[in-house]
A = this chain, B = another copy of it.
Amino acid sequence: MSNIDLLQARPPGKTRRIVLGGVKIGAGAPVSIQSMTKTDTHDHAATLKQIRQLASAGCDIVRLAVPDRKAIQPLRIIVSQSPIPVVADIHFYHRLALGAIDAGAHGIRINPGNISDEKHLSELAEAAGAAKIPIRVGANSGSLPKKMQQKVARAKNRHKALADALVQSALEQCAMLEEFGLSAIKVSIKSPDVPVMVAACRKFSSVSDYPLHLGVTEAGTLTRGTVKSAVGIGALLLDGIGDTIRVSLTADPVEEVRAAILILEATGLRTPQPEVVSCPTCGRTEFDLMKTALRIENLVDNLKQKGEIIPIRKIAVMGCVVNGPGEAKDAEIGIAGVKGGKAAIFSHGESQGTFPIDEAIAILMKKIVEKSTKKTPR
């Protein structure tokens, strides 16, 4: 077994390129968003419906469980009709992975803890190589190989031992797949424990150039899961680590995609079009900022859902003059409360004058609508 502490360090963020069903991953490609269907894969119609919802929401790659042989035929239908690449999630049975490759899956996800037989891995690497599809090696603190689990349980610093074991488990399976001729590999190292996941991914990224798929497992319900994922995935992305991400939520998978988009926007990896920034309001605020910010966000969402393009980078809704104009200047369009029930409109750093608040909001909304244009249909 290799000692990961002895492997040579490399700068983070420099990963090799793989391609999954046309989506580029790694080596500076835009960070892609993944999700996983929560339908029964045997029900191809329901699964395809959910995949289309995910694609509309902004999902780039979708994964689905292939729990048994009966799922292979529906998988074939799903792959042929899906608007985005499909990854088959396989556990325990390498024959299912071979079946999924035959059914046209654009990628396979296996787990070092439960497909470890060398002969099976060799067959899998050969089939994936022939089909020119990548394999994701997904190490997970919930299903580490038994020996490693025991080692972690005996360790003094369980957190560090767990992070190290996850990295080692992933590296070992990658090395085996490489030995069998497959180099189109991506790796995920997941844990429900955010500091463990972040430490493990940092370590992995410092010793390997496989593209990293980031995620926090068993993150929890909508709000808690979103926060855990934002912290873990966000911290790594800010450091240039991570090539594709999945937010795991015990919620509608469309929420996973929405949260993933917000994380990419927060880390500066995607620019919201347009971004509505608003201050948190305080005792200085002289108008209902919350309601105004929500009205502006809703207007933007409605225009986008109608297929409009809004060529504005930033809209600011500020409660008062303390930070207001400073921030609003940075925005193409901004509104900032001033004394006496009035608000100032800013555009490209210049005041457009002060108006009664309702009028100012109306002017702001009119400007947004005027700037919007219909998308040219492809």
Contacts and interface: CB of A to CB of B under 8 A. Distances in A.
Interface of A: 36-42, 47, 63-67, 71, 89, 91-92, 111, 114, 140-144, 149, 192-195, 198, 217-221, 223-228, 230-232, 234-235, 237-238, 248-251, 256, 258-259, 262-263, 265-268, 276-285, 289-290, 293-294, 297, 316-318, 322-324, 326-327
Given A279-B218, A280-B36, A290 B251 contact: yes
Contact of A218 (B111, B256, B278): B278
Given A39-B283, A234-B231, A282-B38, A143 B326 contact: yes
Contacts of A192: 277, 327
Contact of A228 (B228, B266, B282, B290): B266
Contact of A324 (B142, B267, B279): B142
Contacts of A279: 217-218, 248, 250
A276 B224 CA distance: 10
Interface centre among A224, A266, A285, A324, by most B CB within 10 Å?
A: A266
Contacts of A267: 194-195, 231
Given A149-B326, A249-B280, 9 more contacts: A42-B283, A142-B322, A142-B326, A194-B234, A218-B316, A220-B278, A226-B227, A250-B281, A250-B289
Contacts of A195: 238, 267-268
A225 B279 CA distance: 10
Contacts of A114: 322
7 contacts: A47-B283, A71-B283, A91-B284, A143-B323, A218-B316, A224-B265, A250-B294
Nearest to A89: B282
Contacts of A294: 221, 250
A228 to B, nearest CB: 4
Closest 10 A/B residue pairs (Cβ): A231-B234, A142-B323, A65-B283, A230-B230, A248-B280, A142-B326, A235-B235, A227-B262, A41-B283, A142-B327
A117 to B, nearest CB: 17
Contacts of A42: 283
Given A142-B327, A231-B267, A36 B277 contact: no
Contacts of A282: 36-38, 63-65, 89
Interface centre among A218, A265, A267, A293, by most B CB within 10 Å?
A: A218
Interface centre among A250, A251, A324, A327, by most B CB within 10 Å?
A: A250
B37 A218 contact: no
A201 to B, nearest CB: 12
Contact of A323 (B39, B140, B228): B140
B248 A194 contact: no
A318 B218 contact: yes
Given A198-B238, A268-B195, A326-B142, A223 B226 contact: yes
A263 to B, nearest CB: 6
Nearest to A253: B280
Contacts of A224: 262, 265
Contact of A219 (B89, B142, B250, B280): B280
A280 B217 contact: yes
